[in-house]
A = this chain, B = another copy of it.
Amino acid sequence: MISAARQETLMAVILITGGARSGKSTRAEARARSFPGQPVYIATAEALDTEMEARIATHRARRGTDWIEREVPLDLVPALVATDDGGARLVDCLTLWLSNLMHAQRDWEGGVKALAGALPRLKSPVVLVTNEVGLGIVPDNALARSFRDAAGIMNQTIAAAADEVEFVVAGLPMKLK
């Protein structure tokens, strides 16, 4: 028999949002580690340039070596299903995943809906990191405007499917849901 508390733990979907360098990843790592089992780090970043390589190395140094690591730039739902038998998965981050879908000419709206639909059916916990990008001045170019629109729609859609949502400012989480 699984207790109600244990059941709740197994089903947790947690979305952590915030600005650049707000402490989102550190917070998400702490949340993922709080679950039993070996945590799985699902990186949506690919080391395509030196700036990105440095950022990935910083994250890895902080996280430690006890994580299972996966690089998943595009096919997030299959990766979550394939790792759905152990510790919590940390997906870092959805904003870059969205950008990858767009660059690969994939149907990002379909992808976001499929993720939102898959999350409640997973057995092991998932902690998802995303970015708030819509609180600055309206960008000059149409591409940046449509990206921030897409990111806002994605964040709303995933937040609606999540059990918990936190907004991190200066390393400090505010509970939104």
Contact = CB atoms under 8 A, between A and B. Distances in A.
Interface of A: 15, 17-23, 51, 130, 132-139, 142, 144-145, 147-149, 151-153, 155-156, 158-160, 165, 167, 169-172, 174, 176-177
Nearest to A136: B136
A12 B165 CA distance: 29
Contacts of A169: 17, 132, 155, 167, 176
Residue from A139, A152, A170, A176 having most chain B Cβ neighbours under 10 A: A170
Summarize A's interface: helix, strand, loop or mixed: mixed
A98 to B, nearest CB: 12
Contact of A137 (B148, B155, B167): B148
B134 A19 contact: yes
B142 A133 contact: no
A160 B23 CA distance: 11
